[in-house]
Amino acid sequence: MPDVEYMLFCCRNLEHTCGFRVQSKTKEEAMEHARAHMSSEQGMTEIPKETERKIEEAIKPVYV
Ligand SMILES: [Zn+2]
């Protein structure tokens, strides 16, 4: 059984022109980074539910 090495978030899945990527140990951590990135970059003070869902979908586990 492969181990999950890390969770990878690519902003490109949401914003096709954005090259932001972040990797974290857990999905929750990746979500945090993604949220922070969205709010600083898109100037969102609150992340809409829809965006939150897209972020979650964009986070993929990377196996070794
Ligand atoms: Zn971005």
Q: Can you tell me the distance from the alpha carbon of 20 to that of 42, in angstroms, rounded to the nearest whole number?
A: 12
In angstroms and rounded to an integer, the radius of gyration of the C-alpha atoms of the chain is 12
Distance 6 CA to ligand 1 centre (A): 19
Distance 25 CA to ligand 1 centre (A): 20
Query: Which residue segment(s) compose the domain that 54 sits in?
Result: 4-63
Distance 1 CA to ligand 1 centre (A): 33
Domain total of the chain: 1
pTM reported for the whole predicted model: 0.84
Give pLDDT tens digits for 15-52. 889 999 999 999 999 999 999 999 998 788 889 999 99
